Amino acid sequence: MEAKTREVEPLQDTVPPRHQIESDESEDEDLDTHHNRQLPPTPLVNINWIDSYVQKSNVLVALHEAGQYWAQGVILGDIHGKLILNTIEIGNFYTPQWADVLVIIITTRVPLYAMHTIASTIISCIQPKCLSMIDSYPLPSCILPLPQKSNKQPIRYLQTYRKLQLPSAELFSPPNMLQSLAAAFLPLAEFKKLPSTLLLLPSSHMTPPTPPRIISSPFGPPIREEWEPRVMEEFHRNLDVALGSQSTWKVNKDTSGFGKVRPLRRGDVGEGGMYL
């Protein structure tokens, strides 16, 4: 094995220092960037109640586009509170009449450093008996355990400390991963032995990366995707099982924003736990 020799000037008495042979400027740039990089702000999460809060057995956290689209087909009522992250409003609280549930709509995508604090604040302050969540999963990157026999993309779910028989949902199994705020709720629910259910709508878009800072809009982010009414109705039937409610999802096309939910009348299909 040949030994590598260093080329030197023949008239020099000593070997030149390393920095005279090669200058690693990238290392200096990395050091400067590291020293100039600012640490993320400490996440401060507050819940500002507009009306006095009445304890609910269930909490439903509806996230991002899936939660925003689902909310167009339900009557949520007036806003009862606001979720604040570092002085920025990121979510609203509702107490609809069609179920014993506190609904939290969070459409703002939050930085990674704030996710755990948001989830832990909601769970510790509200102390629900059951937790349900709405989000989506990206079809382009979803890895299936078995080949699909049809083009139908199923609703998927995850559960902790619950064994609900959902009418038409399939497990969101490894190696698929969640990268949204829902990923912060599930480990906390597991740790606290809190029964929880996450329902995922199939999305044709990849999950957007987490933003480096809070970006909020008073109108919420634009919805890039729409789901067919039959998909949303099927999705809501699964949600009814998780919430122990009986209602239907129906888009109100006469108004913009949130729509309507019609409570089931006696004798309607679905009464008596048909979807269980």
In whole angstroms, give the CA distance from residue 244 to residue 149. 32
In whole angstroms, give the CA distance from residue 104 to residue 4. 66
* Domain boundaries, given as residue ranges, for the chain: 45-143+153-263
Q: Which CATH class is domain 45-143+153-263?
A: alpha beta
The helix (H) or strand (E) run that includes residue 248 is strand 247-250
pLDDT in tens, the chain (276 residues): 555 555 555 555 555 555 554 555 555 555 555 556 677 778 899 999 997 777 888 999 999 999 999 999 999 999 999 999 999 999 999 999 999 999 999 988 999 999 999 999 999 999 999 999 999 999 888 887 777 666 678 999 999 998 888 988 999 988 888 889 999 999 999 999 999 999 999 998 888 888 888 766 555 566 678 899 999 999 999 999 999 988 889 876 543 444 444 443 333 333 332 222
Two structure tokens written together for 228: 């067919």
Cα torsion for 91, 210, 196, 160, to the nearest 10°?
A: -170
Between the alpha carbon of residue 208 and those of residues 68, 108, 112, 136, 179, the distances in Å are 16, 12, 12, 11, 9
Residues counted in the chain: 276
Burial of 179 (0-12, 13-18, 19+ CB in 10 A): middle
In whole angstroms, give the CA distance from residue 211 to residue 108. 10
pTM: 0.77
